Amino acid sequence: MKFAKNTFLIIEEICQLLLIFRNDLMKENKFQRDLIKEIKERFPGCLVFKNDPNYIQGVPDLTVLYGKQWALLECKKSAHEEHQPNQDYYIERGNDMSIARFIYPENRTEVLDELQQTFKPRR
């Protein structure tokens, strides 16, 4: 009987952890969805591509093409979220070529303003 009770408690804890993970994932997905919408509104005619995380580990979530410029964005649900393997590498590489940023609710406006500056036509 004690074994069954312990097993039930373990299963209950696993279910609670899965719910927390699911809620966190939903928050990041909603943030990403809202961000894509805002980018398309701010930069009419731009192309926003969601990159496949299973293709290359650490590649940023989004590629934004606008005119002759481009950006890479790695979406995080908060400023304190841990970076996954290779994410820093790809953000640094992308930033050397154009603009690449980690973006989360706390720096959203700042990053979008940086994109605005980057996407301005050069004379």
Share of the chain above pLDDT 70, in %: 76
pLDDT of 9: 63
Convert the pLDDT of each residue in 58-87 to its tens digit. 999 999 999 999 999 999 999 999 999 999
What is the residue-wise DSSP string for 3-16? HHHHHHHHHHHHHH
Domain hosting 41: range is 2-119
CA angle 110, 89, 17 (to 5 degrees): 80
Question: At 48, which CATH number?
Answer: 3.40.1350.10
pLDDT of 28: 72
Copy the structure tokens of residue 52.
């496949």
102: nearest Cα among 70, 69, 80, 119: 80
| Strand, helix or coil for residue 110 | helix
pLDDT of 63: 98
Cα dist from 27 to 34, 76, 104, whole Å: 11, 9, 11
CA 14 to CA 12: how far, in whole Å? 5
**What's the domain count of the chain?**
1
pLDDT tens track of the chain, all 123 residues? 565 666 766 666 665 555 555 555 556 789 999 999 999 999 999 999 999 988 999 999 999 999 999 999 999 999 999 999 999 999 999 999 999 999 999 999 999 999 999 998 765
| Strand, helix or coil for residue 111 | helix
Q: Which amino acid is at 24?
A: D
